A = this chain, B = another copy of it.
């Protein structure tokens, strides 16, 4: 199998690539080549794998690659929500035009490859005549309130139509907010959902830009990767004719996240988080889902993480691997 992962050098993408290389096969077929297309070079362990081919640079330069004939694609590359709010054109080019280029390349190759698109819970948003329910479901009417959410929704519909026409065998998995992310804060408005755990564990004081009562559906990196692989391996029949579904999320409040942090790492670590409201971030988050359900993903056997404590423990274990930044746990006693 010749596989492409766009955004395969990113946090979720690299983790997905590692999981697939380790498994060695996807849907019963051995991985012969794994192509990673990303703005940045992938981590060294991935680049060193004999099966990996690296294509660094903007996706908009990869027309020839996309048309080269893949058996399977995970399309994860994306400008994130905060970036798209700050630079409207960047968002359109990175998220809509790149996806069109990818889809048209796959179509030109003519072999209707299976494609999993990483969509997002950000497709949901409230509007005056249609407030968000407590849990956004597979049947909730999407009404995105960020450009990023709009891009994801538009790509879902493009992929559904390319699939209906037989150009690809596509499906869209709506990722919940993935936490805990290692490294530095990124441009995503959701960055603090990782920062309020990661920074205090590293001994760094940090601020939380929203109130403790804010709730949100989150997922650990490993549970998210499992979701993407399961959706890839599902038959068209199992998808039930609907090509976009919610991945499972753990519905949790910011206060509960910090409580779990205290239980895992102690009160001194917890105290490194100070509440300091950021109106720009809080305004974006106020339009996000407060919780999510995922009936169709459950039917595929997927489940949310068991607890936020378990998510933090997964992060701490990850930090002990050499691939994670040094000093990530130097704030723990």
The answer to whether B150 and A240 touch across the interface, beta carbons within 8 angstroms, is no
Q: Report chain B residues within 8 Å CB of A158.
A: 150, 154
The reply to whether the CB of A164 lies closer than 8 angstroms to some CB of chain B is: yes
| CB within 8 Å for A153 and B145 given contacts A127-B242, A138-B129, A165-B88 | no
Per assembly, the copies of the chain total 2
Q: How large is the interface on A (under 10, 10 to 19, 20 to 34, 35 or more residues)?
A: 20 to 34
The reply to whether the CB of A198 lies closer than 8 angstroms to some CB of chain B is: no
The reply to whether the CB of A160 lies closer than 8 angstroms to some CB of chain B is: yes
The answer to whether B88 and A127 touch across the interface, beta carbons within 8 angstroms, is no
- Kindly provide the distance from the CB of A292 to the nearest chain B CB, expressed in whole angstroms: 16
Q: Report chain B residues within 8 Å CB of A240.
A: 127-129
0/1 string, A135-157, CB within 8 A of B gives 1: 00011110111010010011001
The reply to whether the CB of A161 lies closer than 8 angstroms to some CB of chain B is: yes
With contacts A128-B240, A154-B157 known, what are 15 further pairs, Cβ within 8 A? A88-B167, A127-B241, A127-B242, A129-B240, A129-B241, A129-B242, A130-B242, A139-B141, A140-B141, A141-B141, A143-B242, A144-B160, A147-B161, A153-B157, A154-B154
A contact residues vs B (CB 8 Å cutoff) = 88, 92, 100, 127-130, 138-141, 143-145, 147, 150, 153-154, 157-158, 160-161, 164-165, 167, 240-242, 296
